[in-house]
Amino acid sequence: MADPIVFERVIDATVDEAFALFTEPERLRRWQAVSASVDLKVGGDYRLTVVPGSIACGTFAEIDPGKRLVYTWGWQGTDHDPAPGGSSISVEFEPVGDQTKVTLTHSGLDDEGATNHSVGWTHFCDRLVVAAEAGDAGLNPWGLDAEEFDLLTAAEATWAICRESLMHFGPDDREKSTPCEGFTTHDLVEHLMGSMKGLGAGADADVPDDVEAVTAEDYIAQAVEPTLAAWRERGTDDMVPFGDGEAPATMMASILSLEFLIHAWDFAQVTGHPIEVPDGLVAYVQGLAETVIRPEYRGEGKGFATQTTPSSTDPLTVLAAFTGRQT
């Protein structure tokens, strides 16, 4: 067993704000997680998609708001060590004037795990500093340029892109037109919420009927987290319920990535904040689009518009044009 690894950072936040950055899903998404769920009580569980395809989970052992937090840590459903419950993290919060000294100690790792987690915690603790100062650390590039994707890892990666695009969505953007013909940005947010409920139902996800949120990002994220978690648990084999019948699980899971990436592009055109997506991820989603969007699904009154001519050879622009957007 390796010695505990320890990380210290002084961040621009009160102790209560610092504590929230470790315990509130909306705050965790700003520096550590693509998506997050937290049951903040002793014995309660958490689940963090740290990077696409890598999901950390554990149980809270001690909770002293603004002072100390202790929880188990492990990786769900992968070959990563440790397994769930296999290590422990303590986080101490100490006021330093108007700032907070955060000390994170990770115990119970073997030598290889300590080495790997040292790299990870250095990266994420630096992002914690930025999030405390700026409100958000920005898109985490880790996992977005993987050599290979599967359906669910791609869904998590494209959600990370979509989440970043939604972060720039402001009240003044609500009624603006989007490249999705006939949809304002508000309409498109509601469409995305409806899609999460429909796609989540296919995996028996517990998506809340009524979501309370101040931002569009948090509103959609509260539906995305249970949807992605349910698909991870279910997998993509066989058929799933869809409407009055059934559909292949692979098709439904494919639509997750299409919804996230295409609508991220839509939102970016409205807000003026361009999104950067690795070509490999775009190529993977392009392949999904070519499988899902059949000719009979295009045209007036159908799910997709007629394919348009892209304005450039940029892969994301080509994908947008394939879905019927004017680029």
Question: What does the pLDDT average to over 156-165?
Answer: 98
Handedness of CA 72, 125, 69, 3 (dihedral sign): positive
Query: What is the pLDDT confidence band of residue 303, given thresholds at 50, 70 and 90?
Result: confident
Structure tokens at 234: 């279910």
Share of the chain above pLDDT 70, in %: 100
Could you give the CA distance from residue 267 to residue 272 in angstroms, rounded to a whole number? Answer: 8
| Domain spans of the chain, in order of start | 5-134, 151-322
The full DSSP string for 156-176 is HHHHHHHHHHHTT--GGGTT-
Residue carrying structure tokens 């796609």: 199
- The residue ranking higher by pLDDT, 35 or 305, is 35
pLDDT digits (tens, 9 = 90+) for 99-124: 999 999 999 999 999 999 999 999 99
Structure tokens at 279: 């070509």
pLDDT digits (tens, 9 = 90+) for 211-225: 999 999 999 999 999
- The residue ranking higher by pLDDT, 283 or 302, is 283
What CATH number should be reported for the domain whose range is 151-322? 1.20.120.450
pLDDT (0 to 100) of residue 262 = 97
Q: Which CATH superfamily is domain 5-134 in?
A: START domain (3.30.530.20)
Question: What does the pLDDT average to over 241-270?
Answer: 95
